[in-house]
A and B are shown apart, each in its own frame.
Chain A
Amino acid sequence: MSLEQLPMLQQLMLVLAAMVLFTSFVLLEQARLLAAIHAFAWQGVLVALVTAIVASSSEHLHLFFSAALTLGLKALLIPWMLHRLVRRLELDRHREPLRRPALVIMAALALVIFSYWAVVPVVQQELLFTRNIVAVSLAVVLIGLLMMVIRTQAVAQVLGFMSMENGLFLAAVSATGGMPLVVELGVAFDVLVAMVLFGVFFFQIRESIDSLDVDRMNRLTEHVEEKS
């Protein structure tokens, strides 16, 4: 079955999922923190839209609730908290370009291809449509992971972490029609608490090393080198 023969709503979902993946790339490339936070907020909006479409096309009514929860948490509350933290830490003008942008983008592309390869066994009997979205969400998760590895700035690492969460949520919604409500609430609670703790840590880290560049925290690795 080719993609054009899919129902309109499913095609729309695929487009939105592709846009989520696109925002992941934007997030990965951004040098300015505020712009990255905005990209993250847009990713949250897109994920919430996908959720709303799944909710309207299925009988899972509680998905409307999850869509609202995602919009509130991922597109409004967390970006707002990050925005405030960045302003309080006086990092609004902080620029940190990627060191090797071409290489990073190639790595991210490789991750996308890997994700399609990894989900092949999942979908042999399934619709083409599910496979695309599961692959896209795995790619979003892995690009978030890549972002946490290559970025040395604490706020950027947190953005990578949160975009991983977005990818996971997208996978849950599109492949399975959403997790049971109690689990979704628990996950949302954990994410919120994690965000509050990240905020606490930004201040602790800055107090300790006078910067948010976590690469400068290397006392514990020094211990190991000293031993060898």
Chain B
Amino acid sequence: MNALLITVVSPLAGALILPSLRRLSWAGWLNVLVSTITLAASLNLAVTVADHGVVANSLFRVDAFNVYLLVLTAFVGVTTSIFSRPYMRHVCDSGRVSQRGMRLYHAMFQAFMFTMFLALSTDNLGVLWVSVEGATLATVLLVSLYRTPEAIEAAWKYFILCGVGIALALFGTVLLYFAAQHVISDPEAGLSWSALYSVAPQLQPAIMSLAFVFLLVGYGTKVGLVPMHQWLPDAHSEGPTPMSAVLSGLLLNVALYAVVRLKMLVDGSLSATDSPHTAGYLLMGFGLVSFLVAGLFLHRQRDIKRMFSYSSIEHMGLMTFAFGLGGPLATFGALLHMLVHSLTKSAIFVTVGHAAHIAGTQSIDHIRGLIRTQPAVGWGLLLGVAAIAGFPPFGVFTSEFLLLTATMQSQPWFTVALLTGLAVAFAGLFRHLHPMVYGPVPEGQQPVSANMLPVIVHLGLVLWLGLSIPGFLSRWLDRATELITGAHLL
């Protein structure tokens, strides 16, 4: 219990303390320290959950499913804070951000982490909504941190689109609560996920399916599902790079986590009706469309961060499709994919940040010859993209292989669409990557001081997961799979 409290409260404390520090160098280190404390507490929590199964009280509930996401979130938080310390100093020294902007950055980084942990660990669907909305509020000022017209436009779009989307999710939550009131007498427990899950078969199917449509559109906006994805490339490309790394690696996961939890409730409610898989079909449809459309959009991009944010949409679409497919194999694959995608994508954004510093621009046409200018960054980008495109021996290959196998088992025709999508995305990524990494070196291009530690650690882990998934992790994911689908895989 204490570990849970420390995990959730320490980022909040960090968000309150950090802006009061006047020395920026201290603030950077303190940011790392707070994130490390959070990671230690979340690991401790994971051990407790492994021993006891579930840690729960009236407001929180941590089980095998969300504890792995908690640890992942804390881990990416630490590596991103390590990367952001020198990176943001560089940005600050170059005069793009004021001292006040830096204090805002540190406070909002931790406030964002707080909302992520709260959303993941809470049992109350209302609090889940409040914290996902809180995540928008914490990051929207960071998207406009550079104060360029583009950044302000991106931030406004992000604010308005996510605000509207999340408002629809609140309507869905109200409908869910309405359905719960006929079954659960205690009004305070009406939004508790565990209480709802235990009575799911009695919830009225008609209301639950209507609620799910609103919830899916609402949280789906945050996942970045097409056609509600418009905010995502803008917000990712205009914000500071550490923010892109956590938005892509963490926020999208948390929104998808919310969708999966809600799908579990709806599946329970619809199990006795004629159409028990409605929620799954909806997810499959949205997921597949996002996957294919984002793959095509990869080809048209000119901004390197925009390109990788479309790649995030593509992968989120794939996971959504897999969760919609259901069944132990697909769910296990999707959980693994969440893990490896977060690790790889945040590593890529870190490398892209350095690449943009080297070239002095984010335009793909002007980033050239990275591998000769600075081999570490060039190779980091090359390996990162190879990993995200699904090359063996990286972990993304393993999870995509599992997903394809699962698709072949239950819906063989979709395999064609998936393979086409993977090929299109692969071509889109590599046609842009090749000149950036090899290409002729522009005159006067100098290496920058780069901190490649997060990239090495992340890609190392992804490689490890591709070669052999350690026993404890596969048992862990298997328990989460059992929780979601009701059946073991291993």
Per a CB cutoff under 8 Å, which of B133, B134, B191, B303 touches A180?
B191
CB pair A175 B174 closer than 8 Å: yes
Q: Does B312 contact A (CB under 8 A)?
A: no
CB pair A168 B170 closer than 8 Å: yes
Q: Hey, which chain B residues are within 8 Å of A194, CB to CB?
A: 133, 137, 159, 163
**Which A residue's beta carbon lies closest to that of B234?**
A220
Per the 8 Å Cβ criterion, residues 170-220 of B in contact with A are 170-171, 173-175, 177-178, 181, 187-188, 190-191, 206-207, 209-210
CB pair A227 B124 closer than 8 Å: no
CB pair A214 B156 closer than 8 Å: yes
Majority secondary structure, B binding face: helix
Contact with B along A188-228 (1 / 0, CB 8 A): 01100110011011001101110000100111100110111
CB pair B152 A208 closer than 8 Å: yes
Q: Which stretch (B15-23, B139-147, B243-251, B413-421) binds chain A?
A: B139-147
Q: Give A132 Cβ to nearest chain B Cβ, in Å.
A: 14
**Which A residue's beta carbon lies closest to that of B58?**
A182
Q: Hey, which chain A residues are within 8 Å of B159, CB to CB?
A: 194, 197-198, 201
Contact with A along B264-293 (1 / 0, CB 8 A): 000000000000000000000000000000
Residues of chain B at interface, number, CB under 8 A: 51
Query: Which of the four size classes fits the interface of chain A?
Result: 35 or more
Q: Does A94 contact B (CB under 8 A)?
A: no
Q: Give B18 Cβ to nearest chain A Cβ, in Å.
A: 18
Majority secondary structure, A binding face: helix
Contact with A along B131-172 (1 / 0, CB 8 A): 101100100110010011110111111011001100110110
Q: Does A49 contact B (CB under 8 A)?
A: no
Q: Give B327 Cβ to nearest chain A Cβ, in Å.
A: 28
Q: Hey, which chain A residues are within 8 Å of B141, CB to CB?
A: 197, 200
Given A176-B174, A182-B124, A219-B149, check contact A145 B164 (CB 8 Å).
Answer: yes
Given A180-B191, A220-B234, check contact A141 B152 (CB 8 Å).
Answer: no
Q: Does B48 contact A (CB under 8 A)?
A: no
Q: Does B300 contact A (CB under 8 A)?
A: yes
Q: Does A7 contact B (CB under 8 A)?
A: no
Q: Give B246 Cβ to nearest chain A Cβ, in Å.
A: 19
Q: Give B223 Cβ to nearest chain A Cβ, in Å.
A: 19
18 A-B Cβ contacts within 8 A? A60-B187, A124-B206, A138-B171, A161-B160, A165-B167, A168-B170, A168-B171, A171-B174, A179-B126, A182-B59, A183-B191, A186-B127, A190-B130, A194-B137, A205-B152, A217-B153, A220-B150, A220-B157
Beyond A157-B160, A183-B124, 17 additional pairs, beta carbon < 8 A: A119-B210, A122-B210, A148-B160, A161-B163, A175-B178, A179-B191, A193-B137, A194-B159, A197-B140, A198-B159, A201-B155, A201-B159, A204-B147, A204-B152, A205-B152, A217-B152, A220-B234
